[in-house]
Amino acid sequence: MGNQERTASRMEAPIPLVRRLQDALDSLGQSLQLPQVAVVGGQSSGKSSVLENLVGRDFLPRGSGIVTRTPLILQLLHSTAEYGEFSHCKGKKFTDFNQIRMEIEAETCRLTGSNKGICSAPIVLQIHSPHVLNLTLVDLPGMTKVPVEDQPADIEYQIRDIIMQYICNENCLILAVVPANTDLPNSDALKLAKDVDPQGLRTFGVITKLDLMDEGTDAKEILENRFLPLRRGYVGVVNRCQKDIDGKKDLQAALESERTFFLSHPAYRHLADRAGTPYLQQILHQRLQVLTPLLPFPPSAGLSLSTLSVVSSLPGTLHIPGWKI
Ligand SMILES: Nc1nc2c(ncn2[C@@H]2O[C@H](COP(=O)(O)OP(=O)(O)OP(=O)(O)O)[C@@H](O)[C@H]2O)c(=O)[nH]1
Ligand SMILES: [Mg+2]
Protein backbone atom coordinates (compact mmCIF):
# COMPACT_ATOMS: atom_id res chain seq x y z
CA MET A 1 0.00 0.00 0.00
CA GLY A 2 1.45 3.39 -0.99
CA ASN A 3 1.72 6.33 1.39
CA GLN A 4 -1.26 8.04 -0.13
CA GLU A 5 -3.46 5.00 0.18
CA ARG A 6 -2.32 4.43 3.76
CA THR A 7 -3.22 8.01 4.63
CA ALA A 8 -6.53 7.64 2.85
CA SER A 9 -7.31 4.47 4.75
CA ARG A 10 -6.39 6.11 8.09
CA MET A 11 -8.63 9.05 7.18
CA GLU A 12 -11.49 6.75 6.18
CA ALA A 13 -14.78 8.56 6.52
CA PRO A 14 -16.11 7.75 9.98
CA ILE A 15 -19.70 7.02 9.02
CA PRO A 16 -18.89 4.13 6.64
CA LEU A 17 -16.36 2.84 9.15
CA VAL A 18 -18.88 2.75 11.94
CA ARG A 19 -21.50 1.34 9.63
CA ARG A 20 -19.15 -1.57 8.90
CA LEU A 21 -18.46 -1.98 12.61
CA GLN A 22 -22.18 -2.01 13.23
CA ASP A 23 -22.78 -4.55 10.47
CA ALA A 24 -20.12 -6.79 12.01
CA LEU A 25 -21.68 -6.47 15.45
CA ASP A 26 -25.18 -6.99 14.05
CA SER A 27 -24.07 -10.28 12.58
CA LEU A 28 -22.94 -11.27 16.08
CA GLY A 29 -26.27 -10.17 17.51
CA GLN A 30 -24.72 -7.26 19.43
CA SER A 31 -25.25 -3.55 19.21
CA LEU A 32 -22.78 -0.69 19.22
CA GLN A 33 -23.67 2.05 21.63
CA LEU A 34 -22.07 5.41 21.10
CA PRO A 35 -22.11 8.44 23.36
CA GLN A 36 -24.70 11.10 23.46
CA VAL A 37 -25.03 14.10 25.75
CA ALA A 38 -28.24 14.85 27.66
CA VAL A 39 -29.14 17.86 29.78
CA VAL A 40 -30.89 17.31 33.08
CA GLY A 41 -32.17 19.97 35.43
CA GLY A 42 -35.08 21.76 36.98
CA GLN A 43 -37.58 23.71 34.94
CA SER A 44 -36.10 26.93 33.53
CA SER A 45 -32.63 26.08 34.83
CA GLY A 46 -31.18 26.98 31.41
CA LYS A 47 -30.83 23.53 29.80
CA SER A 48 -31.94 24.55 26.30
CA SER A 49 -29.81 27.69 26.52
CA VAL A 50 -26.73 25.60 27.36
CA LEU A 51 -27.35 23.23 24.44
CA GLU A 52 -28.00 26.03 22.03
CA ASN A 53 -24.74 27.72 23.00
CA LEU A 54 -22.89 24.44 22.49
CA VAL A 55 -24.34 24.11 18.99
CA GLY A 56 -23.56 27.73 18.19
CA ARG A 57 -26.92 28.51 16.58
CA ASP A 58 -30.16 30.13 17.74
CA PHE A 59 -32.86 27.59 17.15
CA LEU A 60 -34.25 26.19 20.40
CA PRO A 61 -37.36 27.47 22.14
CA ARG A 62 -36.28 29.07 25.44
CA GLY A 63 -38.15 31.11 28.00
CA SER A 64 -39.93 31.17 31.31
CA GLY A 65 -42.42 28.51 32.46
CA ILE A 66 -42.23 25.00 31.02
CA VAL A 67 -40.80 25.36 27.53
CA THR A 68 -39.27 22.01 26.54
CA ARG A 69 -42.14 19.52 26.81
CA THR A 70 -40.88 16.55 24.81
CA PRO A 71 -37.39 15.11 24.46
CA LEU A 72 -35.60 16.70 21.52
CA ILE A 73 -33.03 14.42 19.94
CA LEU A 74 -30.65 16.68 18.14
CA GLN A 75 -28.31 15.03 15.72
CA LEU A 76 -25.47 17.28 14.68
CA LEU A 77 -23.93 16.28 11.40
CA HIS A 78 -20.86 17.84 9.90
CA SER A 79 -21.56 18.76 6.29
CA THR A 80 -20.87 21.52 3.78
CA ALA A 81 -24.46 22.76 3.58
CA GLU A 82 -26.28 24.17 6.59
CA TYR A 83 -29.87 23.17 7.23
CA GLY A 84 -32.16 21.30 9.61
CA GLU A 85 -34.41 18.36 8.86
CA PHE A 86 -37.03 16.82 11.14
CA SER A 87 -37.93 13.16 11.17
CA HIS A 88 -41.62 14.12 11.16
CA CYS A 89 -41.27 16.00 7.85
CA LYS A 90 -38.46 14.24 6.10
CA GLY A 91 -37.18 15.79 2.91
CA LYS A 92 -38.09 19.34 3.95
CA LYS A 93 -34.88 21.31 4.45
CA PHE A 94 -35.07 24.19 6.91
CA THR A 95 -32.38 26.74 6.13
CA ASP A 96 -33.83 29.45 8.39
CA PHE A 97 -33.10 28.63 12.02
CA ASN A 98 -36.04 30.73 13.21
CA GLN A 99 -38.26 28.41 11.18
CA ILE A 100 -36.64 25.47 12.95
CA ARG A 101 -37.56 26.96 16.31
CA MET A 102 -41.13 27.56 15.14
CA GLU A 103 -41.41 23.99 13.85
CA ILE A 104 -40.17 22.62 17.22
CA GLU A 105 -42.84 24.74 18.93
CA ALA A 106 -45.54 23.63 16.50
CA GLU A 107 -44.61 19.95 16.76
CA THR A 108 -44.47 20.23 20.56
CA CYS A 109 -48.06 21.53 20.51
CA ARG A 110 -49.14 18.79 18.09
CA LEU A 111 -47.64 16.14 20.39
CA THR A 112 -48.63 17.56 23.75
CA GLY A 113 -51.47 20.04 23.21
CA SER A 114 -51.10 23.68 24.05
CA ASN A 115 -51.85 23.51 27.79
CA LYS A 116 -48.41 22.70 29.10
CA GLY A 117 -48.79 18.93 28.74
CA ILE A 118 -45.72 16.77 28.26
CA CYS A 119 -45.05 13.76 26.06
CA SER A 120 -42.36 11.10 26.03
CA ALA A 121 -42.31 10.79 22.22
CA PRO A 122 -39.21 12.61 21.02
CA ILE A 123 -38.88 15.21 18.30
CA VAL A 124 -35.91 14.21 16.16
CA LEU A 125 -34.00 16.96 14.42
CA GLN A 126 -30.88 16.67 12.33
CA ILE A 127 -28.74 19.78 12.01
CA HIS A 128 -26.34 19.63 9.08
CA SER A 129 -23.68 22.28 9.32
CA PRO A 130 -20.04 22.98 8.53
CA HIS A 131 -19.72 24.36 12.06
CA VAL A 132 -20.41 21.19 14.00
CA LEU A 133 -18.94 17.77 14.32
CA ASN A 134 -21.21 14.84 14.65
CA LEU A 135 -22.87 14.20 17.95
CA THR A 136 -26.28 13.61 19.45
CA LEU A 137 -27.49 16.05 22.05
CA VAL A 138 -30.71 15.44 23.94
CA ASP A 139 -32.74 18.31 25.32
CA LEU A 140 -35.19 17.19 27.98
CA PRO A 141 -38.15 18.66 29.84
CA GLY A 142 -37.23 20.23 33.16
CA MET A 143 -38.05 18.62 36.45
CA THR A 144 -41.04 20.10 38.20
CA LYS A 145 -43.21 19.13 41.16
CA VAL A 146 -46.55 20.92 40.99
CA PRO A 147 -48.82 20.23 37.99
CA VAL A 148 -50.12 23.27 36.09
CA GLU A 149 -52.93 23.51 33.51
CA ASP A 150 -53.35 20.15 31.69
CA GLN A 151 -50.42 18.48 33.40
CA PRO A 152 -51.18 15.15 35.05
CA ALA A 153 -51.10 14.84 38.84
CA ASP A 154 -47.97 12.70 38.62
CA ILE A 155 -46.07 15.11 36.35
CA GLU A 156 -43.02 14.89 38.61
CA TYR A 157 -42.71 11.13 38.06
CA GLN A 158 -43.59 11.26 34.36
CA ILE A 159 -40.79 13.75 33.69
CA ARG A 160 -38.42 11.72 35.81
CA ASP A 161 -39.26 8.60 33.77
CA ILE A 162 -38.60 10.41 30.51
CA ILE A 163 -35.23 11.67 31.76
CA MET A 164 -34.28 8.23 33.08
CA GLN A 165 -34.85 6.63 29.66
CA TYR A 166 -31.92 8.68 28.38
CA ILE A 167 -29.53 9.04 31.27
CA CYS A 168 -29.63 5.36 32.32
CA ASN A 169 -27.73 4.63 29.14
CA GLU A 170 -24.12 4.08 30.19
CA ASN A 171 -23.01 5.90 27.05
CA CYS A 172 -24.90 9.05 27.87
CA LEU A 173 -22.86 11.94 29.24
CA ILE A 174 -25.00 13.90 31.68
CA LEU A 175 -24.94 17.65 31.92
CA ALA A 176 -26.52 18.29 35.32
CA VAL A 177 -27.69 21.89 34.99
CA VAL A 178 -28.13 23.84 38.22
CA PRO A 179 -28.86 27.57 38.44
CA ALA A 180 -26.43 29.41 40.70
CA ASN A 181 -29.28 31.19 42.45
CA THR A 182 -30.62 27.93 43.95
CA ASP A 183 -29.16 25.66 46.63
CA LEU A 184 -26.90 22.99 45.19
CA PRO A 185 -27.79 20.29 47.76
CA ASN A 186 -31.45 20.67 46.71
CA SER A 187 -30.67 19.92 43.09
CA ASP A 188 -32.81 17.13 41.65
CA ALA A 189 -30.47 17.03 38.65
CA LEU A 190 -27.46 16.12 40.79
CA LYS A 191 -29.55 13.60 42.71
CA LEU A 192 -30.79 11.89 39.54
CA ALA A 193 -27.33 11.90 37.99
CA LYS A 194 -25.92 10.31 41.14
CA ASP A 195 -28.61 7.61 41.05
CA VAL A 196 -27.59 6.48 37.57
CA ASP A 197 -23.90 7.37 37.72
CA PRO A 198 -22.88 6.86 41.35
CA GLN A 199 -19.17 7.19 40.59
CA GLY A 200 -19.69 10.38 38.65
CA LEU A 201 -17.79 9.11 35.64
CA ARG A 202 -20.13 10.66 33.11
CA THR A 203 -21.66 13.54 35.04
CA PHE A 204 -20.63 17.16 34.47
CA GLY A 205 -22.07 19.89 36.67
CA VAL A 206 -23.11 23.02 34.78
CA ILE A 207 -23.84 26.09 36.88
CA THR A 208 -26.03 28.63 35.05
CA LYS A 209 -27.34 32.07 36.01
CA LEU A 210 -24.14 33.12 37.78
CA ASP A 211 -25.09 36.66 36.77
CA LEU A 212 -28.26 36.44 38.84
CA MET A 213 -26.76 35.66 42.22
CA ASP A 214 -27.53 37.95 45.13
CA GLU A 215 -24.99 40.66 45.61
CA GLY A 216 -22.30 39.54 48.04
CA THR A 217 -22.71 35.86 47.18
CA ASP A 218 -20.81 33.82 44.64
CA ALA A 219 -20.35 30.23 43.49
CA LYS A 220 -16.56 30.16 43.80
CA GLU A 221 -16.46 27.13 46.09
CA ILE A 222 -18.72 25.17 43.75
CA LEU A 223 -16.78 26.08 40.61
CA GLU A 224 -13.53 25.18 42.37
CA ASN A 225 -15.19 21.80 43.03
CA ARG A 226 -14.79 22.13 46.80
CA PHE A 227 -18.49 22.12 47.72
CA LEU A 228 -20.33 18.87 46.84
CA PRO A 229 -17.44 17.87 44.57
CA LEU A 230 -18.09 15.96 41.38
CA ARG A 231 -15.48 13.72 39.84
CA ARG A 232 -15.64 15.71 36.61
CA GLY A 233 -16.25 19.02 38.34
CA TYR A 234 -18.49 21.96 37.52
CA VAL A 235 -18.39 24.49 34.71
CA GLY A 236 -19.98 27.90 35.20
CA VAL A 237 -21.78 29.50 32.26
CA VAL A 238 -23.71 32.70 31.67
CA ASN A 239 -26.46 32.30 29.08
CA ARG A 240 -28.66 34.96 27.61
CA CYS A 241 -31.30 36.30 29.97
CA GLN A 242 -34.91 36.73 28.90
CA LYS A 243 -34.28 40.37 27.98
CA ASP A 244 -31.42 39.28 25.70
CA ILE A 245 -33.68 36.68 24.08
CA ASP A 246 -36.48 39.20 23.57
CA GLY A 247 -33.98 41.74 22.23
CA LYS A 248 -32.53 39.04 19.91
CA LYS A 249 -28.98 39.37 21.25
CA ASP A 250 -26.87 37.24 18.96
CA LEU A 251 -24.84 34.30 20.10
CA GLN A 252 -21.44 35.81 19.36
CA ALA A 253 -22.26 38.86 21.47
CA ALA A 254 -23.54 36.53 24.21
CA LEU A 255 -20.28 34.56 24.23
CA GLU A 256 -18.29 37.78 24.43
CA SER A 257 -20.40 39.00 27.37
CA GLU A 258 -19.92 35.66 29.07
CA ARG A 259 -16.14 35.92 28.71
CA THR A 260 -16.16 39.49 30.01
CA PHE A 261 -18.29 38.42 32.97
CA PHE A 262 -15.75 35.81 34.08
CA LEU A 263 -12.72 38.00 33.44
CA SER A 264 -14.14 40.91 35.37
CA HIS A 265 -15.72 39.11 38.33
CA PRO A 266 -13.40 39.15 41.38
CA ALA A 267 -14.52 35.68 42.51
CA TYR A 268 -14.16 34.03 39.09
CA ARG A 269 -11.31 35.90 37.41
CA HIS A 270 -8.79 33.20 38.32
CA LEU A 271 -11.15 30.60 36.81
CA ALA A 272 -11.85 32.45 33.58
CA ASP A 273 -10.05 29.87 31.44
CA ARG A 274 -11.96 27.03 33.10
CA ALA A 275 -15.38 28.58 32.76
CA GLY A 276 -17.91 29.43 30.09
CA THR A 277 -19.33 27.76 27.02
CA PRO A 278 -16.01 27.27 25.14
CA TYR A 279 -14.55 25.43 28.14
CA LEU A 280 -17.64 23.23 28.42
CA GLN A 281 -17.25 22.36 24.73
CA GLN A 282 -13.61 21.55 25.30
CA ILE A 283 -14.11 19.16 28.22
CA LEU A 284 -16.99 17.38 26.48
CA HIS A 285 -14.85 16.97 23.41
CA GLN A 286 -12.00 15.54 25.49
CA ARG A 287 -14.29 13.11 27.26
CA LEU A 288 -15.90 11.92 24.04
CA GLN A 289 -12.52 11.35 22.48
CA VAL A 290 -11.51 9.20 25.45
CA LEU A 291 -14.74 7.23 25.13
CA THR A 292 -14.36 6.60 21.42
CA PRO A 293 -10.69 6.18 20.62
CA LEU A 294 -11.69 3.85 17.80
CA LEU A 295 -13.33 6.56 15.80
CA PRO A 296 -11.38 9.00 13.70
CA PHE A 297 -12.21 12.65 14.18
CA PRO A 298 -12.86 14.93 11.26
CA PRO A 299 -10.74 18.07 10.97
CA SER A 300 -11.70 20.46 13.72
CA ALA A 301 -10.73 23.97 12.59
CA GLY A 302 -13.55 26.39 13.27
CA LEU A 303 -15.96 23.79 14.51
CA SER A 304 -18.08 24.51 17.49
CA LEU A 305 -18.21 21.05 18.99
CA SER A 306 -15.86 18.28 18.02
CA THR A 307 -17.22 14.90 18.75
CA LEU A 308 -18.32 11.77 17.03
CA SER A 309 -19.26 10.93 13.56
CA VAL A 310 -22.01 8.57 14.35
CA VAL A 311 -24.69 8.90 16.88
CA SER A 312 -26.94 6.82 18.99
CA SER A 313 -30.47 8.04 19.27
CA LEU A 314 -33.05 6.35 21.45
CA PRO A 315 -31.62 4.56 24.43
CA GLY A 316 -30.47 1.10 23.56
CA THR A 317 -30.41 1.59 19.81
CA LEU A 318 -27.75 2.69 17.43
CA HIS A 319 -28.63 5.33 14.95
CA ILE A 320 -26.51 6.12 11.96
CA PRO A 321 -27.40 9.42 10.33
CA GLY A 322 -28.96 9.20 6.91
CA TRP A 323 -29.69 5.53 7.45
CA LYS A 324 -32.98 5.71 9.24
CA ILE A 325 -34.52 7.75 12.01
N1 LIG B 1 -29.67 35.81 33.43
C2 LIG B 1 -29.63 34.55 32.98
N3 LIG B 1 -30.75 33.99 32.50
C4 LIG B 1 -30.66 32.72 32.04
C5 LIG B 1 -29.47 31.97 32.07
N6 LIG B 1 -29.71 30.74 31.55
C7 LIG B 1 -31.00 30.73 31.21
N8 LIG B 1 -31.59 31.92 31.50
C9 LIG B 1 -32.99 32.30 31.30
O10 LIG B 1 -33.79 31.33 31.96
C11 LIG B 1 -34.98 31.09 31.21
C12 LIG B 1 -35.08 29.60 30.94
O13 LIG B 1 -34.08 29.23 30.03
P14 LIG B 1 -34.21 27.89 29.16
O15 LIG B 1 -32.92 27.69 28.47
O16 LIG B 1 -35.45 27.89 28.37
O17 LIG B 1 -34.35 26.85 30.37
P18 LIG B 1 -34.76 25.31 30.32
O19 LIG B 1 -34.07 24.67 31.47
O20 LIG B 1 -34.51 24.74 28.99
O21 LIG B 1 -36.32 25.41 30.61
P22 LIG B 1 -37.46 24.24 30.42
O23 LIG B 1 -37.28 23.67 29.06
O24 LIG B 1 -38.76 24.98 30.56
O25 LIG B 1 -37.24 23.27 31.53
C26 LIG B 1 -34.88 31.95 29.95
O27 LIG B 1 -35.62 33.13 30.19
C28 LIG B 1 -33.40 32.27 29.85
O29 LIG B 1 -33.17 33.52 29.26
C30 LIG B 1 -28.28 32.59 32.61
O31 LIG B 1 -27.18 32.01 32.67
N32 LIG B 1 -28.43 33.88 33.05
MG1 LIG C 1 -35.78 23.77 27.67
**Does position 202 have pLDDT exceeding 60, yes or no?**
yes
Query: 314 in a domain, yes or no?
Result: no
Could you tell me which residue, 35 or 245, shows the higher pLDDT?
245
| The predicted structure's pLDDT at residue 188 | 94
Strand partners, 234: 205
Query: 315 in a domain, yes or no?
Result: no
Could you tell me which residue, 8 or 84, shows the higher pLDDT?
84
The answer for 15, left when phi > 0, alpha when psi is -120 to 50, beta otherwise, is: alpha
In the reported structure, the alpha carbon of residue 67 is separated from the centroid of ligand 2 by a whole-number distance in angstroms of 5
- Sort strands 172-179 and 72-78 into parallel, antiparallel or unpaired: unpaired
Percentage of the chain exceeding pLDDT 70: 78
Query: 244 in a domain, yes or no?
Result: yes
CB 200 within 8 A of CB 183: no
The answer for 232, left when phi > 0, alpha when psi is -120 to 50, beta otherwise, is: alpha
In the reported structure, the alpha carbon of residue 237 is separated from the centroid of ligand 1 by a whole-number distance in angstroms of 11
Query: 273 in a domain, yes or no?
Result: yes
Q: Is 246 in the pocket of ligand 1 (CB under 6 A)?
A: no
Length of the chain equals: 325
Of 97-111, 134-148, 184-198, 286-300, where does mean pLDDT reach its minimum? Answer: 286-300
Strand partners, 236: 207
Query: 31 in a domain, yes or no?
Result: no
Q: Is 69 in the pocket of ligand 1 (CB under 6 A)?
A: no
Question: How many domains in the chain?
Answer: 1
Give the CA-trace dihedral at 194, 202, 54, 89, to 10 degrees.
-90
How many CB atoms within 10 Å of residue 107?
A: 20
Query: 214 in a domain, yes or no?
Result: yes
Structural domain of 49: 39-303
Residue 108 sits in a domain whose CATH number is: 3.40.50.300
Secondary structure (DSSP) of 116-167: S---SSPEEEEEEETT--SEEEEE-PPB-SS--TT--TTHHHHHHHHHHHHH
How many CB atoms within 10 Å of residue 221?
A: 13
Query: 259 in a domain, yes or no?
Result: yes
Q: Is 277 in the pocket of ligand 1 (CB under 6 A)?
A: no
Ligand closest to 67 (CA) is 1
Query: 253 in a domain, yes or no?
Result: yes
Q: Is 179 in the pocket of ligand 1 (CB under 6 A)?
A: no
What residue owns the CA closest to ligand 1's atom 23? 68
What residue owns the CA closest to ligand 1's atom 4? 241
Mean pLDDT, rounded, for 24-44: 73
- Sort strands 203-208 and 172-179 into parallel, antiparallel or unpaired: parallel
In the reported structure, the alpha carbon of residue 106 is separated from the centroid of ligand 1 by a whole-number distance in angstroms of 20
Relative to the CA of 240, which ligand 1 atom is closest? 29
In the reported structure, the alpha carbon of residue 25 is separated from the centroid of ligand 1 by a whole-number distance in angstroms of 41
What residue owns the CA closest to ligand 1's atom 12? 44
Secondary structure (DSSP) of 63-104: -SSS---S-EEEEEEE-SS-EEEEGGGTT--B--HHHHHHHH
**Mean of all residue pLDDT scores within the chain:** 82
Name the residue type at position 100. I
**Does position 71 have pLDDT exceeding 50, yes or no?**
yes
